[in-house]
Amino acid sequence: MLLLLVRSFSSRTTVVGLCTTCLLWWCNNAVTTVTGLSSKPTTIACTSSTLDVSKIRAISFDVTGTLLATREPVVKSYHDASIWAKLPNPPTLDEFKRGFKIAFKERSIESPCFGGVEGISGREWWQTTIRRVLYHAKGGESGDNDDGKYYTEEEFQRYFRRVYQHFGSPSGYMVLEDASSLLSSITEATKQPSSGDSDNDNDNDNDSLLLGITSNTPIRHMESVLPMLDSFHKQFSWFTCSQEIGHEKPAKEIFEDAFTNAKFWLDDPSLAKDSILHIGDSYACDYCGARAYGFQALLLDRSDHPSVTAYQDWLEAPDYPGKSLEDVENNTITSLEEVASILSLAKQASY
């Protein structure tokens, strides 16, 4: 039985919407910096991957940047909302870019997991964060602690509601084309009886596909955003979310929760960790985090994708056995459609 999980964020890398991907990792006490893995992102042939596809019974996906992306740059949405809300002397696009980058990092460090560690709601977390975005966009300095000095409370609340509504609506996000293609391929594959199968519907249980999500995104993505995207949530059976767990990738705790869910849905308490393949666009969070926990992994290089950006470049990539530049390059893809080819080779090899 195959299984798909899901999340989104990068590390020593770009993340969620506004920059280029930088991959930094440590090997033999030396630092290697790779932009998009190379000046020309490497597209691996399926045969060059070091995955042991014969063991894979589950596939874990990140969400933002992997399956979903914002329909337009985040800072454009913030700027458009400021015009709609009639903020006096609103920040420019470049000022919003600066403000968001600083505020998002500050708040993610102060109150990790969108308030999940602090015990506040996601709405409260974003209210404080968006207030901080405006403050830094207008030139406020870190540590001043006067986030409301540029706009009145009435002005801010009018602006905040518009931003919060946008990112809680179908106009905020879109399903990426290669994600739709891969999930369609997987769905179709589960409908195809394996060679030699009888007409008994239960004979093909080991080939059926179970989808789930493992994500660093807010709970609202799981409960509102995914359902609004043409009922995208119906393709998944469980939703591991950092805001609920209180830990975010690359921490082992969030992968542990995903693993527990995988064992439940596969009805296999003795399931091996390397039976799960995790795929995401963050080097630190998705690739190194999953490998360090014991999952197999593929790194999805989105550095050339116009709709994907990354922010969490402060997260450290954990070590894992066999960590090397060659290992990363051999397990890097530039499109989710390549996963279908990898799985297809695995199936053919089993015949």
Mean per-residue pLDDT over the chain, rounded: 81
| pTM (predicted TM-score) | 0.81
User: What share of the chain has pLDDT > 90, as a percent?
Assistant: 57
Angle among Cα 14, 334, 226 to the nearest 5 degrees reads 70
pLDDT-derived band at 123 (thresholds 50, 70, 90) equals very high
Residue 144 is predicted with a pLDDT of 63
| Domain residue ranges of the chain, discontinuous segments joined by + | 2-70+172-350, 74-166
pLDDT-derived band at 340 (thresholds 50, 70, 90) equals confident
For the domain spanning 74-166, the CATH number is 1.10.150.720
pLDDT, tens digit, for every residue of 262-291?
999 999 999 999 999 999 999 999 999 999
Q: Which of 31, 5, 36 is nearest to 266 (CA)?
A: 5
Q: Distance between CA atoms of 315 and 249, rounded to whole angstroms?
A: 9
Q: Distance between CA atoms of 281 and 241, rounded to whole angstroms?
A: 17
Average of pLDDT values for 53-82?
Answer: 93
Residue 349 is predicted with a pLDDT of 47
Q: Evaluate if residue 345 carries a pLDDT over 70.
A: no
pLDDT, tens digit, for every residue of 170-199?
899 999 999 999 998 888 877 655 444 444
Q: Evaluate if residue 302 carries a pLDDT over 80.
A: yes
User: What share of the chain has pLDDT > 70, as a percent?
Assistant: 77
pLDDT, tens digit, for every residue of 239-263?
899 999 999 999 999 999 999 999 9
pLDDT, tens digit, for every residue of 1-46?
444 443 333 333 333 333 333 333 333 333 333 333 333 333 344 4
pLDDT, tens digit, for every residue of 141-172?
766 656 667 999 999 999 999 999 999 998 99
Q: Which of 257, 233, 263, 234 is nearest to 244 (CA)?
A: 257
Q: Which of 310, 325, 289 is nearest to 10 (CA)?
A: 310
User: How far separated are the first and last CA of the chain, in Å rounded?
Assistant: 16
Residue 193 is predicted with a pLDDT of 53
Encoded tokens for 31 = 């630092």
Residue 208 is predicted with a pLDDT of 65
Q: Evaluate if residue 222 carries a pLDDT over 60.
A: yes
Query: Could you say which architecture CATH assigns to the domain 2-70+172-350?
Result: 3-Layer(aba) Sandwich (3.40)
Angle among Cα 280, 281, 284 to the nearest 5 degrees reads 90
